[in-house]
Structure 1
Amino acid sequence: MLYVQLAIILIASKLAGDVSTKFGQPAVLGKLLVGILIGPAVLGLVTETDTLHQISEIGVILLMFIAGLETDVKEFKRSWKASTYVGILGILLPLCIGYLYGMMIHLSNFEAIFLGLLLSATSVSISVATLKEMGQLNSKEGATILGAAVIDDVLVIVALAFVMSFSGGDVNLSLMLLKKFAFFIIAILVGWKVVPWILVRFTKLNVSETLISAALIICFVFAIFAEKTGVAAIIGAYIAGVSISVTDFKHAVVQKVETISYSIFVPVFFTLIGVSVQFAGITTSIPMIILLSLIAIATKLIGGALGAKLAGFNRKSSLGIGSAMVSRGEVALIIASTGLANHLLTDKMFSIIVIVVLITTIITPLLMKIFFTEKSTDLEISA
Structure 2
Amino acid sequence: MTPQTILPLITLPLEDPILKFMLIMAIVLGAPLLLNRLKIPYLLGLIIAGAVIGPNGFNLVLRDSSIILSGTAGLLYIMFLSGLEMDMNDFKRNGWRSAVFGLYTFAVPMLFGIVAGHYILGYSLYSSILLAGLFASQTLIAYPIVSRLGITRDRAVTIAVGGTIITDILALMVLTVVVGLATGQADTGFWYRFGASVVACVAAILLLFPLIGRWFFKRCSDNVSQYVFVLVMVFLGAYLAQLAGLEPIIGAFLAGLAMNRLIPGTSPLMNRIEFVGNAIFIPFFLIGVGMLIDYRAFFKSWESIEVSIVMIVMVTAAKYIAACLTQKTFRLSRDQRTLLFGLSSAHVAATLAAVMVGYNVVLGRTPEGEPIRLLNEAVLNGTILMILATCTISTFASQRGAHNIAIKGVQGPGERTTGEHVLIPVSRQEKIAELVGLSIALTKQKYRSLYALNVIDNQSEDPELKKRSQSLLETAVTAAAAADIHMHSLLRYDVNTVNAIVSAVRERNITDLVLGMHENSPGPNVQIPGIPTAATTAALGKTLQAVLAQCAVTTFIYHSAQPLPTIRRHHVVVPRKAELEAGFQAWLLRIRHLAHDTGAQLIFHAPKTTVEHLRGRRRRKDIAQYAVCEETWDNPAALLPELRNDDCLWVVMSRRDRISYQAGMYRIPAYLDENMADHSFVLVYPVQAGHAEQQGIFHMNLG
Q: CA deviation at 1:351?
A: 2.2
Closer, same or farther: CA 209–192 of 1 in aligned 2, 3 Å? closer
The question of whether the paired residues in 2 share the 8 Å contact of 1:215 and 1:253 is answered with no
Aligned-pair identity in percent equals: 20
Structure 2 residue identity aligned to 1:36:
A
Cα distance in 1, alignment partners of residues 408 and 17 from structure 2: 42
String of CA shifts for 1:67-125, please: whole Å, max 9, x gaps: 3222211122122122112111101111111111111221111111111112111111x
Structure 2 residue identity aligned to 1:292:
M
String of CA shifts for 1:251-307, please: whole Å, max 9, x gaps: 222122223323322211111211221123431322331221111222112213312
Closer, same or farther: CA 215–281 of 1 in aligned 2, 3 Å? closer
String of CA shifts for 1:192-226, please: whole Å, max 9, x gaps: 333211332344xxx77221122111111111111
Is 1:311 aligned with 2:327?
no
The question of whether the paired residues in 2 share the 8 Å contact of 1:162 and 1:173 is answered with no
Cα distance in 2, alignment partners of residues 98 and 52 from structure 1: 31
Is 1:333 aligned with 2:352?
yes
* 1:118 counterpart residue number: 134
Q: CA deviation at 1:173?
A: 2.8
RMSD over aligned Cα, in angstroms? Answer: 2.4
* 2:651 counterpart residue number: none
Structure 1 residue identity aligned to 2:128:
A
Q: CA deviation at 1:246?
A: 0.6
Q: Which runs of 5+ in 1 are unaligned?
A: none
Cα distance in 2, alignment partners of residues 210 and 186 from structure 1: 23
Cα distance in 1, alignment partners of residues 180 and 57 from structure 2: 42
* 1:351 counterpart residue number: 381
Structure 1 residue identity aligned to 2:113:
G
Cα distance in 1, alignment partners of residues 305 and 66 from structure 2: 31
* 1:375 counterpart residue number: 407
Structure 1 window deviating more from structure 2 (305-314 vs 266-275): it is: 305-314
Cα distance in 1, alignment partners of residues 132 and 153 from structure 2: 31
What SS does the aligned partner of 1:209 have?
Answer: helix
Q: CA deviation at 1:23?
A: 4.3
Larger radius of gyration: 2
The question of whether the paired residues in 2 share the 8 Å contact of 1:161 and 1:176 is answered with no
* 1:194 counterpart residue number: 212
Higher relative CO (CA 8 A, sep ≥ 6), structure 1 or 2?
1
Closer, same or farther: CA 182–364 of 1 in aligned 2, 3 Å? same
**What is the TM-score when the length of structure 1 is the normalising length?**
0.90
* 2:393 counterpart residue number: 363
1:225-264 paired onto structure 2 within 5 Å = 225-247=240-262, 251-264=267-280
Structure 1 window deviating more from structure 2 (189-198 vs 222-231): it is: 189-198
* 2:58 counterpart residue number: 43
The question of whether the paired residues in 1 share the 8 Å contact of 2:172 and 2:350 is answered with no
Q: CA deviation at 1:376?
A: 5.0
Select the structure that is richer in helix: 1
Q: CA deviation at 1:128?
A: 1.2
Cα distance in 1, alignment partners of residues 243 and 272 from structure 2: 28
The question of whether the paired residues in 2 share the 8 Å contact of 1:71 and 1:138 is answered with yes
Aligned match of 1:297 in 303, 316, 324? 316
Aligned match of 1:156 in 149, 158, 171? 171
* 1:128 counterpart residue number: 143
Cα distance in 2, alignment partners of residues 70 and 376 from structure 1: 21
The question of whether the paired residues in 1 share the 8 Å contact of 2:206 and 2:255 is answered with no
Cα distance in 2, alignment partners of residues 40 and 165 from structure 1: 34
What SS does the aligned partner of 1:231 have?
Answer: coil
Closer, same or farther: CA 322–248 of 1 in aligned 2, 3 Å? closer
Cα distance in 1, alignment partners of residues 338 and 148 from structure 2: 18
Q: CA deviation at 1:329?
A: 0.8
* 1:265 counterpart residue number: 281
Aligned match of 1:5 in 14, 20, 34? 20
Structure 1 window deviating more from structure 2 (65-74 vs 84-93): it is: 65-74
Closer, same or farther: CA 67–105 of 1 in aligned 2, 3 Å? closer
Closer, same or farther: CA 18–235 of 1 in aligned 2, 3 Å? farther
Aligned match of 1:277 in 267, 273, 293? 293
Q: Which runs of 5+ in 2 are unaligned?
A: 1-15, 362-372, 413-619, 624-703
The question of whether the paired residues in 2 share the 8 Å contact of 1:13 and 1:271 is answered with no
String of CA shifts for 1:147-184, please: whole Å, max 9, x gaps: 11111122112233333332225352332222222222
Cα distance in 2, alignment partners of residues 152 and 253 from structure 1: 30
Structure 2 residue identity aligned to 1:257:
I
Is 1:181 aligned with 2:203?
no
Closer, same or farther: CA 298–134 of 1 in aligned 2, 3 Å? farther
Q: CA deviation at 1:64?
A: 2.3
Select the structure that is richer in strand: 2
Is 1:107 aligned with 2:137?
no
Which stretches of structure 1, 4 residues or longer, exceed 6 Å deviation after superposition?
none
Closer, same or farther: CA 133–27 of 1 in aligned 2, 3 Å? farther
Aligned residues: 377
1:23-34 paired onto structure 2 within 5 Å = 23-34=38-49
